[in-house]
Chain A
Amino acid sequence: MRKGGELVKMTLKDLPQQDLFGPGNAGCRGCGAAIAGRQAMKVLGARTIITMPASCMATLSGLNQKTAWSIPFYHTLFEIAPAVSSGIRASLEAQGIKDVNVVSWAGDAGTADIGFQSLSGAAERNDNIIHVCYDNEMYMNTGGQSGSQTPIYAMTSNQQKGKRTGKKDMLKIMVAHDVGYVASATISHPLDLAEKFKKAAAHDGFSYIHIMAPCYRGWNIPTDQSVATARKAVESGFWELYEVVDGKKTRTHEPSFIPVSEYLMSQGRFKNLSTEQVKEIQDAVNSHFGRKEAK
């Protein structure tokens, strides 16, 4: 953030107190998605139009004739949230309105699986929208089935011995689309998330932000541990916080490399993991960060 030409670090006191999303939402206790939504809306501001496909977030933020949003919110079909956002942006451009952020906010299914074709299309057209994926790593709105964003060995409601394949790296896929701004974020680092939304809103063109948002039901953690679990994922190196601006990758938070087992074993969905499997995941994290041996 810049103040009077000088680069200063943003603090929590700089964020507005007003909530454009949140009060009264029907989320579960300690809902990671709702936390992500509140943190993001503090930066995006009132001049924002949001589209959302079928997901937990759409359900918890609007039931019957009530809504938890104070901004225009459009509930789209499952596979077309980025396409609807593109249309809204085209309409705004035709009317000459320039100060509005158009956001499509989807879950991991609406981004990586069912909604992928329209996302890829919007990225290829480089439409001036922000696509946000809040990733709870399962299809939680339909009962916790595994999807392409579920990590390896995690137990889900339809794969009770654990998933056999790894997580699809959506961030790399979006970087491969050659879009201007791609970033990963999580709810335990709100200032990091806020900076990224600020950059995405300022970027003229397609931006993609992938937020890890723990879900206490699916991950089998106590309700007060959503934020703590996200922090463990970051500090163990399991979830890397970075941004890619015009193809150049910068890590925005250096993890302290706590053992990955600390992150995995605090969750019920990984309770079936053997020592070898934990070591396999630890080795994968070590090789990703170019480290020799975990201590």
Chain B
Amino acid sequence: MAKKLPIVPSAKAGSMAEAPSGIIWREQHPVIGDKCNQCLECIMFCPEGALKLENGKVAVSLELCNGCGTCAFECPQKAITMVLEFSGDRGIFPLKEGKS
């Protein structure tokens, strides 16, 4: 005897990536330098999944990054630098050095 179950709202898989929250309060973002040797450690340690291997190079998705700095601290090659910025709905405005 099959019951007629009510239709309940459910979320589309992975839909939080469409409107990430971290970007609103980000203060700095990583920039990957030439020293990167694709060891992939930063990708494992990123809480947001903002780092990805694209065309054989590690790339940052600034839509997802919330600027914790874990990748820059953990990078064995010290290839990642954190750049201060303002971010939000209107885009990213890098800060000049010494004005933080």
With a cutoff of 8 Å between Cβ atoms, the chain B residues found around residue A12 in the complex are: 39-41, 43-44
Stretch at the interface among A24-32, A86-94, A106-114: A24-32
A59: min CB distance to chain B, Å: 12
- Map CB proximity to A onto B1-29 as digits: 1 under 8 Å, 0 otherwise: 00000000101111111111110000000
A30 partner, pick from B50, B53, B68, beta carbons under 8 A: B68
Closest to A37 in B: B47
A residues 7-24 with Cβ under 8 Å of B? Answer: 12-13, 15, 17, 19, 21-24
Shortest distance between the CB of A178 and any CB in chain B (Å)? 33
Contact of A224 among B43, B49, B53, B68 (CB under 8 A): B68
A281: B residues at CB distance < 8 A: none
Chain B residue with the shortest CB-CB distance to A194: B44
The answer, yes or no, to whether A225 is at the interface (CB within 8 Å) is: yes
B70, A226: Cβ atoms closer than 8 Å:
yes
Report how far A228 CA is from B46 CA in the complex, Å: 13
Given the complex of chains A and B, what is the CA–CA distance between A39 and B43 in angstroms?
10
Number of inter-chain CB pairs below 8 Å: 117
Assembled-state Cα–Cα distance A221/B70 (Å): 12
What is the CA–CA distance of A187 and B69 in the complex, to the nearest angstrom?
Answer: 16
Q: How far is the CA of A25 from the CA of B11 in the complex (A)?
A: 14
Q: Is A163 an interface residue (CB 8 A)?
A: no
Q: Please, which residues of chain B bring their CB within 8 A of the CB of A34?
A: 47-48
Q: State the CA gap A224–B48 with chains docked (Å).
A: 13
Indicate if the CB atoms of B64 and A224 lie closer than 8 Å: no
Chain A residue total in the interface (Cβ 8 A): 39
Q: How far is the CA of A71 from the CA of B11 in the complex (A)?
A: 11
Is the pair B69, A227 in contact by a Cβ cutoff of 8 Å?
Answer: no
One of A62-70, A95-103, A147-155, A257-265 at the interface: A62-70
Q: In whole angstroms, how far apart are the Cα atoms of A12 and B13 in the complex?
A: 26
CB distance from B19 to the nearest CB of A (A): 7
Question: Which of chain B's residues has its CB closest to A67's CB?
Answer: B11
Q: How far is the CB of A240 from chain B (nearest CB, A)?
A: 21
Determine the chain B residues whose CB is within 8 A of the CB of A223 once the complex forms: 68-70
A238 to chain B, nearest CB (A): 20
Decide yes or no whether A38 CB sits under 8 A from chain B.
Answer: yes
Q: Does A123 contact B (CB under 8 A)?
A: no
Q: When A65-B9, A225-B73 are in contact, do A25 and B48 touch as well, CB less than 8 Å? A: yes
Which residue of A13, A24, A32, A38 is within 8 Å of B46 (Cβ)? A38
Contacts of A13 in B (CB 8 A): 40
Residues of B that sit less than 8 Å from A by CB: 9, 11-22, 39-41, 43-50, 52-53, 61, 64, 66-70, 72-74
Report which A residues bind B (CB closer than 8 A): 12-13, 15, 17, 19, 21-27, 29-32, 34-35, 38-39, 61-63, 65-71, 187, 190, 222-228
Additional A-B contact list (20), CB under 8 Å, known A32-B47, A38-B49, A65-B15: A12-B39, A12-B44, A13-B40, A17-B52, A23-B16, A25-B49, A27-B48, A29-B47, A29-B67, A30-B69, A31-B68, A38-B47, A62-B11, A66-B18, A67-B13, A67-B14, A69-B13, A226-B47, A227-B45, A227-B70
